[in-house]
Structure 1
Amino acid sequence: MKKIWVIDDDQAIRWVLDKALQKAGMQPRCFERVGDLWQALQAERPDVLVTDIRMPDISGLELLRQVKMQYPDLNVIVMTAFTDLDSTVIAFQEGAFDYLVKPFDLNEALALITRALEQSQNTAGADTAISSIDNDSVDKMMSKSSSRAMQDIFRAIGRLAPSKVTVLITGESGTGKELIARALHKHGARVNKPFVALNAAAIPKDLLEAELFGHERGAFTGASHLRKGRFEEANGGTLFLDEIGDMPLDLQTRLLRVLAEGSFYRIGGTQPVNVDVRIIAATHQPLETRVAQGSFREDLFHRLNVIRLRVPPLRERKEDIPRLVRHFLQLSAAGLGVATKRLSPDAMQVLQDFDFPGNVRQLENFCHWLTVMSPANVIGKSDLPPELLSSLTHYLPADAGAGQSNVAEDISFSSVPASASQAAQPVNQSFMSESEAQLQYAESQRFADNTPTMASSVSEQGSEGWLMLLEKEVLRQLMLGTSGIMDNLTTEFEKKVLSTTLAYCRGHRSEAATRLGIGRNTVTRKLKLLGFADE
């Protein structure tokens, strides 16, 4: 059971959270005083700590600060009845996972605690992954790419790594831009210095400046101590600025000065801070377009765009997919402690035919999904995730068509010859004059006289002709994982019957209702429900 510790001097809050957490299957432990909490921390450690911001012996912010200094991986949620900006900013600056505003909804509180648990687990895995990346996994991961485009990237890394030159990495989300940045650092002269990453899109604007440049003690309310920013943390090493295209304009100006002069001022500071930092920036956005739109400084763009590396999307290097799949399946299996699964040739072909809008990250997620969800060690077509199956227009499993020929044809329920389709167009008196209706009827008569139709098929073969089409369409939608098949097909059936009957009756609803065996008002109501214009 996950251990959730709560510290609050309000007995009612402690009681409510204790009961709610127990009911949710967690193991809560409540404290009234900070001294008792610290004593307990000497013996064990919770998975998540929930603290009030205002307590008699110490503030929640000071407790947060001390906890994060000694237990940096412990996620802390701050509860407060005061939603002022300063407290919120300071809480995030000091490393709070999130905050709850009193009075809070219990379901909201439980959902937030659950997210903190999940993030804590992911962070533990991520820390291991980063450690692995810093050692060997950059080379292992990137060695799975044999395409010409990626080989060009590798050669560029070899040339650029030893230098201090600024690099701009562009490419779609999920292509591995941070891996390339880490590779540039790992193979350079700064390998023994810090590699610090900051995502400009993931940090609120109010916090981003302090994250980059730090602040002096007393710079603003609650700034009780000096705090170094990412530039100082990366001094002597590499600062990776991810999603640089999302950086606010005012911070772009400050960043430009740092790049030009190699120094900056902390927030509230009066003395310049000199740093030696190599900048590697990345973005999925076209910066030239943002410059033209006025949302990105042109001088900063040219300062960053010294050397540009474009990472190709996965759809441009599909020959890398088999190696990457095997690599990710091995990683997933190792993480779960299960046997490594493999893909059948048909399943691998499906993966290679997919465009992967999420690129390598999406492929990795698919491999995790397959490791967890697939019941077989050899993964076939039918075991693939729904997103992949829905991309296959002609997909049916091999055994679904046993004893049938051409079952996997691209047949839809509305598939009829062109003339029949024309004859079955929606007809309404508000859109069609009498002469037009007669012309439409004449066309349908020519079709009936000269072309084998569904009607003739039914007269010759009973209902087998169109029922076979219906059966194939139902089977096709089942294999695609479609939901609401009954409603969808019923709607299409009614549309086709009504429009064809109205065309045959030259738009006269009363006659159509008689031929269909339903009331005229029913015809009118169904036409309205199905999206046809009313009279």
Structure 2
Amino acid sequence: MNNFNISIVEDDKWYAELLKYNLELNPDNVVRCFDSGLSFLKNQKKAPDLICLDYNIPDIEGLELFKKAKEKFKTSEIIIISGQNDVSTAISLLKNGAYDYLVKDSDTNERLWNAIIKIREKENLQTEIKQLRKEVKSKYNFTNLIGESTEIKKISALIEKAGKTNITVSITGETGTGKEVVAKSIHYNSKNKNKPFVAVNVAAIPSELIESELFGHEKGAFTGASNKRIGKFEEANGGTIFLDEIGEMDLNVQTKLLRVLQEKEIVRVGGNSKIPLNSRVIIATHKNLLEEVSNGNFRQDLYYRLLGIPIKIPALRKRDGDIVLLANYFLNNFCAENGMPTKTLSNNAVAKLNAYPFPGNVRELKALMELAVVMSEGNVIQEEDISLRVNGDSLSNLMTQELSLKEYIAKIVQNVLDNNDKNVIKSAKILQIGKSTIYRMMQNKEITI
């Protein structure tokens, strides 16, 4: 633990030395004593962690010394130590920023010791918060989005633009593409980065509870409402609220959400007081909201209110070259988090990943890489360590891709080979083609075995 610097301003040298002796029983405490207020102000150049002020020091009035110390050493905590038990003075000093007011008696040393413990705990907590904020900002920096594809570079540019204003952002993309990561990147690169980021998965909340979850409720608003509840919009006030899967929201709640966005205020369920809001709204959905509007499932006026800056996240299969970059990123992270040696992908493992359509997108790739690390024996992940989830959904997903006929054929042949342990003869019989056709496709690097 780092040293904790304490300055004692006390004209009674015996009492000052007594305090110093007791405080330095903890070797982390470094104590300096000053016998006058003026010598302290003149000779204390660097802000100590704690200042212990004798309120009745002769050369300068106590309140004046406190104010000058507070102004000069803005980061220091100040504890007043006085021979008088003056309640009104104590209250005034505490209101003006003193950490504590101690009366000189037999309990002073113990109370001072306990106060220092609390100050250090607070200091350590603030340091942790600053470090976490720094790490979060670094993690969600738009320049750190993993990928070299043109699509990801376009998204990074949009995140940068969105971070400069408080405009609403609508994020679309298939499940697992990383919509919440983009939302957090926008928040942590905006002026609201030190304010709350509150995520709400609309699809996961029952329709009868969503209004209370979003806007809160007063005690007794309905059966079971035994206490007042703060809603997600209030939690996010001043920061960002992220409404994920907003396409699943009930039409009745959509109407209330529209009013909240227009009026910039909410009324808790069962309440009358209007609560002003100043938070950014980011929405996400895997659905085509314009189609939902046409089908009568989503309000047109709410759609245009929420559109803002539209960001469409491409499916992983359409991000040329990004699969291997992301795979290595997830591998390195998982190994580091679990204290394991770094592992690499073999050429065959890379080919297997590149040939797979990833219906679960980035989320599926992350899960595959973590499992591959666990299943692999050495420091190189082999093709057989990667357990692709090949099922009926893969074929339907394949048919949504924009490929040439030659590419479709290669995908189908590769799928059959993967499902039959790379047995060329068996696969050729299933496909009703000659095995020479499969060998030719291998030679032309259209498929891998």
Give the TM-score normalised by structure 1. Answer: 0.50
Extract unaligned runs of 5+ from structure 2.
Answer: 1-131, 395-410, 436-449
Please say if residues 396 and 408 of structure 1, whose CA atoms lie closer than 8 Å, have aligned partners that are also in contact: no
- How far off its partner does 1:138 sit? 2.0
Structure 1 residues 155 and 201, CA gap change in structure 2 (3 angstroms): same
Aligned equivalents of 1:132, 1:376: Cα separation in 2: 35
Q: Please give the alpha-carbon distance, in whole angstroms, between the structure 2 residues aligned to 1:132 and 1:380.
A: 36
Aligned equivalents of 1:276 and 1:256: distance in 2?
15
Q: Alignment partner of 1:331: what SS? A: helix
Matched position secondary structure for 1:226: coil
Alpha-carbon offset, residue 383 of structure 1: 2.1
Aligned length, in residue pairs: 284
**Matched position secondary structure for 2:184:** helix
Inter-partner Cα distance in structure 2 for 1:400 and 1:200? 43
How far did residue 341 of structure 1 move? 1.8
Contact residue 293 and residue 300 of structure 2 kept, 8 A: yes
d(CA) in 2 for partners of 1:279, 1:298: 17
Whether 1:184 and 2:204 are equivalent positions in the alignment is no
Q: In structure 1, which of residues 175, 178, 198 is the aligned counterpart of residue 177 of structure 2? A: 175
Query: Match of 1:197, SS?
Result: strand
Matching residue within 395, 410, 429 for 1:412: 429
Residues 415 and 176 of structure 1: CA distance in aligned 2, closer, same or farther (over 3 Å):
closer
Q: How does 1:245-260 map to 2 (within 5 A)?
A: 245-260=247-262
Identity between Structure 1 and Structure 2 (%): 42
Q: Give the drift of 1:388.
A: 5.9
Match of 1:154 in 2: 156
Aligned match of 2:358 in 356, 359, 369? 356
1:333 matched to 2:350: no
1:371 maps to which of 361, 370, 373: 373
**Contact 1:134/1:182, CA 8 A, preserved across alignment:** no
Q: Normalising by structure 2, report the TM-score.
A: 0.59
Structure 1 residues 216 and 169, CA, compared in 2 at 3 Å: closer, same or farther? same
Using CA pairs below 8 Å that are at least 6 residues apart, which structure has the higher relative contact order?
Answer: 2
Structure 2 residue 139 is matched with structure 1 residue 137: yes
Shift of 1:394: 5.8
Q: Deviations over 1:444-473 (max 9, x none)?
A: xxxxxxxxxxxxxxxxxxxxxxxx9xxxxx
CA offsets 1:412-459 (integer angstroms, 9 cap, x no match): 268489xxxxxxxxxxxxxxxxxxxxxxxxxxxxxxxxxxxxxxxxxx
Q: 1:164 to 1:396 in 2, by over 3 A?
A: closer
Task: Tell me how far apart the structure 1 counterparts of residues 135 and 209 of structure 2 sit (CA, whole Å).
Answer: 28
Q: What residue in structure 1 maps to residue 271 of structure 2?
A: 269
Cα distance change of structure 1 residues 218 and 394 upon mapping to structure 2, 3 Å threshold: closer
2:299 equivalent in structure 1:
297
What secondary structure does 2:230 align onto?
A: coil
State the alpha-carbon separation in 2 of the partners of residues 180 and 272 from structure 1: 32
Partner Cα separation in structure 1 for residue 286 and residue 199 of structure 2: 16
Residues 189 and 415 of structure 1: CA distance in aligned 2, closer, same or farther (over 3 Å): closer
1:112 matched residue in structure 2: none
| Change in 2 beyond 3 A, CA 1:387/1:132 | farther
Cα deviations by residue, 1:42-100 (Å, 9 ceiling, x for unpaired): xxxxxxxxxxxxxxxxxxxxxxxxxxxxxxxxxxxxxxxxxxxxxxxxxxxxxxxxxxx
Task: Work out the CA distance in 2 between the residues paired with 1:239 and 1:190.
Answer: 11
Task: Give per-residue Cα distances to partners, 1:230-266, cap 9 Å, x unaligned.
Answer: 1110111110000000011110000000111101210
Report the secondary structure of 1:239's partner residue.
Answer: strand
Change in CA separation of 1:216 and 1:374 when aligned onto 2, cut-off 3 Å = same
Aligned to 1:193: 195
**Which SS does the other structure have where 1:412 is aligned?**
helix
Contact 2:141 2:188 in 1 (8 A): no
Moved more, 270-279 or 218-227: 218-227
Q: Who is 1:238 aligned against?
A: 240
CA drift at 1:217:
1.4
**2:228 aligned with 1:205:** no
Q: CA, structure 1 residues 378+221, in 2 after alignment: closer, same or farther (shift >3 Å)? A: same
Q: What is the alpha-carbon distance in structure 1 between the residues aligned to residue 418 and residue 255 of structure 2? A: 56
Among 217, 223, 226, which residue is 2:225 paired with? 223
1:252–1:297 Cα contact (<8 Å) kept: yes
Superposed CA RMSD in Å reads 2.8
Q: Deviations over 1:198-252 (max 9, x none)?
A: 0100111122111100001121233232211011101111100000000111100
CA contact (8 A) 1:240 1:280 kept: yes
Q: Secondary structure at the match of 1:168?
A: strand
Alignment partner of 1:393: what SS? helix
CA distance, structure 2, for counterparts of residue 356 and residue 413 of structure 1: 24
Shift of 1:330: 1.1
Cα distance in 1 for residues equivalent to 2:283 and 2:135:
19
Question: Higher mean Cα deviation, 191-200 or 218-227?
Answer: 218-227
Identify unmatched segments of 5+ residues in structure 1: 1-129, 402-406, 418-467, 469-535
**2:385 counterpart residue number:** 383
Could you report, residue by residue, the CA deviation over 1:338-385 in whole angstroms, capped at 9, with x for unpaired residues? 222211112101101211111110100100110112223212222220
| Matched-pair contact (CA < 8 Å) for 1:215–1:267 | yes
